[in-house]
Amino acid sequence: MTKISQLFACGALTLIASLCFAQTPNTANAGKPASDLKSLRQAYDKAMGKTENEHADAMQNQPTSYLKQLLKLQQDMQKAGNLDGWQAANHEIERFKTEQTMPDGDDPALLEGIKSLRAAYKSATAKLELEKSKKIVAVTKQYVDQLNALQTNLTKAGKVDDAIEVNTEIKNVKSDAKVTSSEFAVAAAEQPTEKKPQPPEAPAPTTPTTPDQPKKSSSEPTGKVTESGGAKIYEGQAFPDTAGQIFKNVTIMPTDRTASGQKISATATIYTQDDMEKTASHYYYRTTKMKQGSMNYTVRISLKSANKAYALDNPKLVVEYFGKPVGDSGKVDPKKLDTKEFSIPKIDGIRAVNVELPAFAVDSSSYKSVSRYYGGEYSGFGNDFYGFIASIFDSSGTLVFQTASNNGLKKMGVEKLP
């Protein structure tokens, strides 16, 4: 073979090889997803944690802003020589410092300025709650879209077991109480205010019953109720409605101890009962008010595994209650008032376990006297409620979950079982 023939043959072989390589799929990367379930879950948890923390920070600023506005209103009343207005603003300042809540209804006799500030406070906090819900819905939608794409890739690659695991994660995320409640809040906000009348529903057919076979109520609980240390634990059953008790949502956030890897999702509500004895006296130029007794706080916590595959048998729930000195409005140094421990039958990702804690009493007394000529004086003893920390320990005593109801408590939770 001549030299020219050899070169031609070599070039032809090179061209054929390159064409074959271009048409051959990369079997090493065939069907391999861009990201795996673990990395997607980490990114989702990080985004959800950021949303929770941003919301908590924003909510933390609302009470401070409200008190500043009340103080300005009080100063305006003083400059105008309006003693009644000054006293009304001062009473609202003291009430809010103690209760840290906003009444559901408005007193018709309330000062107009206070009515406006209360309305603005409620509007601002409601807006922050809605913004948080919208972010949770958006973050979850992005996560579910990524999971669906990963599930498709795994199925195409023949990795059916992995695809089933991803499918389970999709179902868990969609059924998460935090996600479903956020979706409900967003849907309710986007709903038109004027509702169309609905046609009456046809009555359901009834089945005759005999004395030996009474008709079973459709509202009969299907779960189980147990008790531990005074706490009522509802397994597979929602919290019961209690007449006269309104439980308000509590913003809870991961503590520094478990913020990087929360294995459990939780929501919390609280009911406050005022058992304070209050007296007031008026004598010419002086008004004196006294109160003593206790404020009782009942906390409800719903717990569910963040991953369906993760379950805890016989975990311990430890709740720490914190207070602050009565009347303390400066930099707060929280003081632990009590620690309670409860046994939980099981926490898994199938259905939430709902725990109603026994009422916790915070005792205090205060004396306030306001004089038209000599100013005012105030003294107080005891504590105001500051917040709580809830921790979950597995059967070996390892801390697996911890959440706080106040930013000031994020570094104060227990590391070991008491």
Ramachandran bin of 148, using left for φ above 0, alpha for ψ from -120 to 50, beta for the remaining angles: alpha
Which residues, 6 or more positions from 366, have their beta carbon under 8 angstroms from its beta carbon? 290, 291, 292, 326, 327, 378, 379, 380, 381
Rounded CA gap, 115 and 133, in Å?
A: 27
Rounded CA gap, 301 and 135, in Å?
A: 23
CB 115 within 8 A of CB 70: no
pLDDT band at 106 (very low <50, low <70, confident <90, very high): low
Task: Quote the pLDDT of residue 284.
Answer: 57
Task: Quote the pLDDT of residue 219.
Answer: 41
Residue 164 has pLDDT above 50, yes or no: yes
Q: Which residues pair with 300 in a beta bridge?
A: 269, 356
Torsional sign, CA 193, 194, 196, 200? positive
CB atoms within 10 A of CB 11: 10
Rounded CA gap, 295 and 368, in Å?
A: 18
The pTM (predicted TM-score) of the whole model is 0.50
Q: Which residues pair with 235 in a beta bridge?
A: 224, 353
In this structure, the strands spanning 335-343 and 316-325 are antiparallel
pLDDT in tens, 214-236: 444 444 445 688 999 999 999 87
Rounded CA gap, 414 and 389, in Å?
A: 9
**Whole-number average pLDDT of the chain:** 80
Domain range list for the chain: 29-191, 222-413
Residue whose structure tokens are 């000031």? 408
Most confident range, picked from 210-219, 255-264, 289-298? 289-298
Residue 290 has pLDDT above 80, yes or no: yes
* Mean pLDDT across 18-46: 59
pLDDT band at 71 (very low <50, low <70, confident <90, very high): very high
